[in-house]
Amino acid sequence: MLHGHGDDGYRYGQEILADFSTNVWYGGEPAGLKEYIFEKWANINRYPEVAGEGLTAQITGHHRLSNDQILVANGTTESIYLIAQLFAGKKTTIVTPAFSEYEDACAMHGHEMQFLSWKESLELPRLKSDLVFICNPNNPTGFTFPDLTFWLRINRQCVFVVDEAFIDFAPGTGSMLEALSQFENLIILRSLTKAYAIPGLRLGYILAGNEWIDQLLRIKQPWSVNAIALAAGSFIFDHFDEVQPPVAQLLYDKKELTNQLRQNDAFEIEDSDTHFFLAKTIIRNAAQLKTFLLEEHQILIRDASNFRNLTRQHFRIAALCPDKNQLLINALEAWKTRYY
To 5 degrees, how large is the angle CA 223–CA 229–CA 235? Answer: 130
pLDDT of 14: 81
Residue 2 has pLDDT above 70, yes or no: no
Q: Return mean pLDDT, the chain.
A: 95
Mean pLDDT of 125-130: 97
- H-helix or E-strand spanning residue 260: helix 247-261
d(CA 286, CA 95): 23
Residue 56 has pLDDT above 70, yes or no: yes
Residue 58 has pLDDT above 90, yes or no: yes
Q: Which of 180, 171, 119 is nearest to 149 (CA)?
A: 180
Mean pLDDT of 66-74: 97
Mean pLDDT of 95-102: 95
Share of the chain above pLDDT 90, in %: 94
Residue 328 has pLDDT above 60, yes or no: yes
Q: Which CATH class is domain 33-242?
A: alpha beta
For the chain, what are the domain ranges?
Answer: 9-27+246-339, 33-242
| Strand extents, DSSP E, 267-307 | 267-269, 276-281, 299-300, 302-303
pLDDT of 3: 44
In the sheet with 314-318, reading across from the earlier edge strand, the strands are 267-269, 276-281, 314-318, 302-303
Residue 155 has pLDDT above 90, yes or no: yes
CATH architecture of 9-27+246-339: Alpha-Beta Complex (3.90)
Same topology, domains 9-27+246-339 and 33-242? Answer is: no
Residue 128 φ/ψ, nearest 5 degrees: -115, 30
Mean pLDDT of 284-290: 96
Q: Which of 193, 141, 183, 189 is nearest to 159 (CA)?
A: 183
User: For 296-314, what is each residue's pLDDT tens digit?
Assistant: 999 999 999 999 999 999 9
Read off the pLDDT band of 289 (50, 70, 90). Answer: very high
Residue 6 has pLDDT above 70, yes or no: no
Share of the chain above pLDDT 70, in %: 97
User: For 27-48, what is each residue's pLDDT tens digit?
Assistant: 999 999 999 999 999 999 999 9
Read off the pLDDT band of 172 (50, 70, 90). Answer: confident
Residue 1 has pLDDT above 70, yes or no: no
Mean pLDDT of 87-93: 98
The answer to whether the CB of 63 falls within 8 A of the CB of 234 is: no
